[in-house]
């Protein structure tokens, strides 16, 4: 019979690389695709020697060709931090629109099941908390986050259309804030920002008064939820995230304690359209997948801090936003 074959896009990124690890562990043949704009080959270089792993340097916004059979596609290619959207807005829109069209076409041709990475950003700056899947969202299409939010919303619509019109097997995961090893230290997200600042002996920059909330999920929990969703028979979107909600100010205090930094928090203006609250309602994931997060923040943050500490000093000191591969 041979191994089941899975295509993972965005494979050199934070979530994509952890998914590669998981599918390799489950004895799949993994075809890892990435254009390396925001991805980093170091995240997957340990897999290159394996006979059931192959890397394909390709931008999924252009026609995607994969020789041989394909059983599953996981679409995780996309810039995914607010700074990315500002720096590369057009690519962000293209991968969520042209990219998904190419991959849905590929899934049809190969008769493969496709799972797409959607996001809590489809809820925008939500007026209900926690957010259930039935909430339609509060999104500003022309704000700085619009290029990401609307691409992801279009991606969901396109995926559902292929499901209903072509009968394609599709899965949609709405991912809430996730953290863990292999996040980019300079991607502008709050966790790498705070830990990087602590490691360099700088003050921690809190945007706004820090009363906005987020709910942080450790990457291993997220991967488990995605794995279960792929093998479920549910085609509507499912939230995967950790409902343990905290304010960004409290989060800063936790990072100060964890790292033992002598620095303090300093307050800067809140970015445009920054959501005031975010917390997943995971009733559906619990009922459908028997899934809930297992790793608490204290444990997850400790592992993540060790990872960032182990990076080359030069990288820790290089605080300006960069793409490693440019």
Instruction: State whether the Cα torsion 249-279-88-220 is positive or negative.
Output: positive
Provide, rounded to whole angstroms, the least separation between the CB of residue 189 and ligand UDP.
Answer: 3
Task: Decide if 123 is catalytic.
Answer: no
Both ends of the chain: CA-CA distance in Å? Answer: 41
Measured from the CB atom, the residue of 169 and 202 that comes closer to ligand UDP is 202
Please state the closest distance from residue 54 (CB atom) to ligand UDP, in A.
32
- Among 212, 259, 261, 304, the residue binding ligand UDP under the rule CB under 6 A is 212
Decide if 137 contacts 75 (C-beta within 8 A). Answer: no
Binding region for ligand UDP (CB under 6 A) out of 41-49, 85-93, 128-136, 205-213:
205-213
Nearest-5° angle of CA 300, CA 231, CA 172?
Answer: 75
Binding mask 234-263 for ligand UDP (x = CB under 6 A): --------------x---------------
Binding part of the chain for ligand UDP, among 33-41, 103-111, 199-207, 238-246 by CB under 6 A, reads 199-207
Q: How far is the CB of 179 from ligand UDP (least distance, A)?
A: 9
Query: DSSP states of 3-71 as a string?
Result: --EEEEETTTSHHHHHHHHHHHHTT-EEEEEE--SS--GGGTGGGTT-TTEEEEE--TTS-----S--S
In whole angstroms, what is the distance from residue 257 CA to residue 172 CA?
A: 37
Residues 6+ apart with CB under 8 A from 15: 76, 117, 175, 178, 219, 222, 223
Using CB under 6 A, pick the residue from 18, 184, 214, 284 that binds ligand UDP. Answer: 214
- Cα separation, 56 vs 32, in Å, equals 6
Q: Report which DSSP code applies to 131.
A: B
Near ligand UDP in 273-292, by CB under 6 A: 274
| 172: three-class secondary structure by DSSP | strand
Question: Could you say which of 107, 147, 158, 193 contacts ligand UDP (CB under 6 A)?
Answer: 193
Q: How far is CA 218 from CA 73, 124, 156, 223, in A?
A: 23, 22, 24, 9
Under the binding rule (CB under 6 A), the answer on residue 82 touching ligand UDP is yes
For residue 68, the minimal CB distance to ligand UDP (Å) is 37
| Given 35, 81, 170, 215, the residue binding ligand UDP (CB under 6 A) | 81
Question: According to the binding rule CB under 6 A, does residue 6 interact with ligand UDP?
Answer: no
Check binding of 44 to ligand UDP (CB under 6 A). Answer: no
Beta carbons within 8 Å of 243's beta carbon, 6+ residues apart:
130, 215, 279, 280, 281, 282, 293
Q: How far is the CB of 103 from ligand UDP (least distance, A)?
A: 24
- Selected from 271, 303, 307, 315, the binder of ligand UDP by CB under 6 A is 271
Shortest distance (Å) from residue 62 CB to ligand UDP:
27
Q: How many residues does the chain have?
A: 326
Nearer to ligand UDP, 272 or 325 (CB): 272
Site for ligand UDP in 133-192 (CB under 6 A): 177, 188-190
Candidate list 52, 97, 129, 205; residue touching ligand UDP; CB under 6 A: 205
Q: Tokens for 209, please give them.
A: 């008064």
Q: Smallest gap, in angstroms, from Cβ of residue 206 to ligand UDP?
A: 4
Catalytic residue among 72, 85, 123, 148: 148
Q: Rounded CA gap, 76 and 35, in Å?
A: 12
**Catalytic positions, please?**
148
- Residues lying near ligand UDP in the complex (CB under 6 A) are found at 81-82, 177, 188-190, 193, 205-207, 212, 214, 248, 271, 274
């Amino acid at each position: 019979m041979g191994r089941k074959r899975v295509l993972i896009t965005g494979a050199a990124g934070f979530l994509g690389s952890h998914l590669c690890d998981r599918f390799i562990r489950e004895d799949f043949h993994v075809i890892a695709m990435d254009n390396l704009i925001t991805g980093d080959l170091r995240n997957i270089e340990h897999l290159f020697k394996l006979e059931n792993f192959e890397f394909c340097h390709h931008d999924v916004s252009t026609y995607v060709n994969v020789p041989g059979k394909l059983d599953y596609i996981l679409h995780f290619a996309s810039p995914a931090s607010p700074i990315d959207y500002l720096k590369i807005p057009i690519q962000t829109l293209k991968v969520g629109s042209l990219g998904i069209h190419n991959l849905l076409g590929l899934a049809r041709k190969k008769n493969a099941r496709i799972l797409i990475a959607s996001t809590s950003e489809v809820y925008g700056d939500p007026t209900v908390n926690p957010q259930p899947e039935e909430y339609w969202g509060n999104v500003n299409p022309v704000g700085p986050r619009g290029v990401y939010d609307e691409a992801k919303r279009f991606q969901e619509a396109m995926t559902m259309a292929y499901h209903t019109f072509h009968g394609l097997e599709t899965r949609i995961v709405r991912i809430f804030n996730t953290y863990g090893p292999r996040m980019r230290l300079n991607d502008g997200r709050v966790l790498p920002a705070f830990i990087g600042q602590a490691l360099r002996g700088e003050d921690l920059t809190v945007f706004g008064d820090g009363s906005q909330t987020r709910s942080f999920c450790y990457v291993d929990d997220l991967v488990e939820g995605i794995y279960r969703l792929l093998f479920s028979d549910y085609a509507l979107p499912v939230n995967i995230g950790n409902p343990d909600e905290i304010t960004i100010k409290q989060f800063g205090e936790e990072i100060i304690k964890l790292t033992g930094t002598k620095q303090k928090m300093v307050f800067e203006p809140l970015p445009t359209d920054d959501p005031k609250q975010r917390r997943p309602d995971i009733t559906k994931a619990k009922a459908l997948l028997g899934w809930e997060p297992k790793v608490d923040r204290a444990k997850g943050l400790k592992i993540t801090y060790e990872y960032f500490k182990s990076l080359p000093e030069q990288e820790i000191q290089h605080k300006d936003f960069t793409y490693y591969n440019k």
